[in-house]
A and B are shown apart, each in its own frame.
Chain A
Amino acid sequence: MSKRARALFLGLFSPMILCLVAGGAIAEEATWNSLNMPEGVTEVSQAAYDIHMIMIWICTVIGVAVFGFMFYVMFAHRKSKGVTPANFHENLTVEILWTIVPALILIVMAVPATTALLKVYDTENPDIDIKVTGYQWKWQYEYIGEGVKFMSELRTPQDEIYGRAPKGEHYLREVTEPLVIPTNKKVRFLITGNDVIHSWWVPDFAVKRDAIPGLFTAAWAKTDQAGIYVGECTELCGKGHAFMPIVVEVKEEAEYDQWLAAKKEEAVIYQSTIGKEWTDAELMAKGESVYAISCAGCHQAKGEGIPGVFPGLVDSSIVTGPVEDHIGILINGVAGSAMQSFADQLSEVDIAAVIHYKRNSWGNEMGDTVQPIDILNYKQTQ
């Protein structure tokens, strides 16, 4: 290689080497070891892992054979060694051979592939049914027949995402409320979408099913290993696609039963909070947290909005207008815009608090109080 070429070579490669070294130094707690598919904790995930490994080994063997031969040829049959090229260009026997042999390998592979798929589809006779609904950009879990239903959304603060605060250990892997299931019970997930298509994926269960509005798909999981398993939305669903993780907590059966009982009780208590008279301070505190989770994504942290995309809330005609109209916007959404209906997603308390908060923050000084009961009344009388 000429001197010039060597200089060019070095010039181009050295920044890359530097970058790699620097990158390695920055990433002190290296995560290089996560190279392969997790084996997971269910029969299905084990089956998926096994067939994955079978495929990898088959491909490795074929690859080593083909490329090994190729590298031998590249080494042995180069012109610089003074070889004279042969002139053959056909051989029916080998052509037939290398059509049939791969076909046979495929037939052999089809067997475990089919068995594994049958396991994925074995959704019959579940012990527990949970409806999973994908929203832009959160998940709702409903324990069918138990009267327990809640939203699960990202808990990582915007500040961490935008680098204004150090990222926590569970960055983008933490939710407001995880899905809880018991060990040793067959749980069936009925998966659907509320707005656009999402996809519910928990790698450790090998459950990935698209959440399609108007359609239901089913998947199942049964594990004997209690623990916390994290998953992701895997179908592009808009700007929050990367920000709607899934956290599943698998509890021992007894613990699960306790949790479920508490959850049912909570639902009852929650009903009673609506009737209560909330103070300004309580509403402001509650409203601030609701706002940060449900509103700040679009309207921004201080209600400034994004001009031309999401309206600001400071001095806006809705926020400074009649309370009824403001409530109406949250309950009904605004057709044809990103403003959706929050009637189902937020409780009456949450809606009241967040409206109260908006009307009395960032220089908005409406001074009126919005109570949960107002929301309930609005829903009922309208």
Chain B
Amino acid sequence: MENTTSHRNILIKSLLGAVVMFMFAIFVLPPLYDLFCEITGIGGKTGDAYTATEVAVDTTREVEVQFVATNNATMPWEFYPVEHKVVVHPGEQKEIVFYAKNLTGMDMVGQAIPNVLPNNAADYFLKTECFCFNNQPLAAGDDAELAVVFIIDPDLPASVNTVTLSYTIFDITDREAMQVSQLQ
């Protein structure tokens, strides 16, 4: 009898351990990974909206910022940066524009996902305003100029002279529709 209780004890503890690991995989690993990305700049993910504060502009240094646009698989929009690159001083606030046009006959919703290269510059690329913070609905045939306002943090590592800001635009029309229908 003593043995069976002890067996049950081990069984319950182990099962509990397994459940904890399962929960860990689903509820802890993804946010942990996001946090990790944010700290290390893995994948060049940039932070959320940055509230501009008075920063001294470092006029002694110039950084080239490149812009790249990519359409994901099922995204039939025209999407490109109006300027391919700009040269800024760290600390200086700059606005640039991407052009997007819905070429189809359907109303669509797009979502742009930003990336910064090199990865170690991601933390120093501060966006005070960006179309990527929200999804972008475009009616059939409509076009739009999508703005990004950014500041390069003067603490940008000295080795970095060129920063590439890239957006991949995804078609999330179905995803949006699905979420709306789930809410209703």
Interface residues, chain A, CB within 8 Å of chain B?
123-126, 129, 131, 133, 142, 144-145, 190, 192, 194-195, 212-216, 218, 328, 331-333, 335, 340-341, 343-344, 379-382
Query: What are 23 A-B interface contacts by the 8 Å CB criterion?
Result: A123-B117, A124-B118, A124-B159, A124-B162, A125-B161, A133-B70, A144-B68, A144-B84, A190-B166, A192-B166, A194-B73, A213-B73, A214-B115, A215-B44, A215-B115, A216-B68, A331-B104, A333-B76, A340-B74, A343-B76, A380-B141, A381-B141, A382-B103
Query: Does any Cβ of A come within 8 Å of B66's Cβ?
Result: yes
**Chain B residues, Cβ within 8 Å of A129:** 66, 164
Mask of B71-83 contacts with A, CB within 8 angstroms, 1/0: 1111110000000
**Chain B residues, Cβ within 8 Å of A131:** 68, 70
Q: Within the complex, what minimum Cβ distance (angstroms) separates B177 from chain A?
A: 11
A331 and B159 alpha carbons, distance in the complex (Å): 43
**Are A341 and B73 neighbours in the complex by a CB distance under 8 Å?**
yes
Known contacts A331-B103, A382-B103; A123 and B76 CB within 8 A of each other:
no
Contact of B76 among A125, A133, A213, A331 (CB under 8 A): A331
**Are A344 and B141 neighbours in the complex by a CB distance under 8 Å?**
no
A125 and B140 alpha carbons, distance in the complex (Å): 41
**Chain B residues, Cβ within 8 Å of A215:** 43-44, 115
Query: Does any Cβ of A come within 8 Å of B174's Cβ?
Result: yes
Which residues of B, 71-105, contact A by the 8 Å Cβ criterion?
A: 71-76, 84-85, 103-105
**Chain B residues, Cβ within 8 Å of A340:** 73-74
Query: Does any Cβ of A come within 8 Å of B156's Cβ?
Result: no
Q: Within the complex, what minimum Cβ distance (angstroms) separates A323 from chain B?
A: 14
**Chain A residues, Cβ within 8 Å of B44:** 215-216
**Chain B residues, Cβ within 8 Å of A195:** 72-73
Query: Does any Cβ of A come within 8 Å of B113's Cβ?
Result: yes
Q: Within the complex, what minimum Cβ distance (angstroms) separates B17 from chain A?
A: 31
A14 and B184 alpha carbons, distance in the complex (Å): 73
**Are B166 and A194 neighbours in the complex by a CB distance under 8 Å?**
no
**Chain B residues, Cβ within 8 Å of A331:** 76, 103-104
Given contacts A126-B162, A194-B73, A341-B74, 15 further A-B contacts (CB under 8 A): A124-B160, A124-B161, A194-B70, A194-B72, A214-B72, A214-B170, A216-B43, A216-B44, A335-B174, A341-B73, A341-B76, A343-B103, A344-B71, A380-B103, A382-B140
Shortest beta-carbon contacts, A-B, top 10: A382-B105, A195-B73, A145-B84, A216-B115, A379-B103, A343-B76, A214-B113, A215-B43, A214-B168, A341-B76
Q: Within the complex, what minimum Cβ distance (angstroms) separates A121 from chain B?
A: 9
A344 and B77 alpha carbons, distance in the complex (Å): 9
Q: Within the complex, what minimum Cβ distance (angstroms) separates A343 from chain B?
A: 5
Contact of A125 among B66, B162, B170 (CB under 8 A): B162
Q: Within the complex, what minimum Cβ distance (angstroms) separates A298 from chain B?
A: 15
A140 and B8 alpha carbons, distance in the complex (Å): 59
**Chain B residues, Cβ within 8 Å of A212:** 43
**Chain B residues, Cβ within 8 Å of A379:** 103
**Are B104 and A216 neighbours in the complex by a CB distance under 8 Å?**
no
A379 and B160 alpha carbons, distance in the complex (Å): 40
**Chain B residues, Cβ within 8 Å of A380:** 103, 141
**Chain B residues, Cβ within 8 Å of A192:** 70, 115, 166, 168
**Are B104 and A332 neighbours in the complex by a CB distance under 8 Å?**
yes
Known contacts A125-B161, A333-B74, A335-B174; A144 and B66 CB within 8 A of each other:
yes
**Chain A residues, Cβ within 8 Å of B141:** 380-382
Known contacts A124-B160, A343-B76; A190 and B103 CB within 8 A of each other:
no
**Chain B residues, Cβ within 8 Å of A216:** 43-44, 68, 115, 117, 164, 166
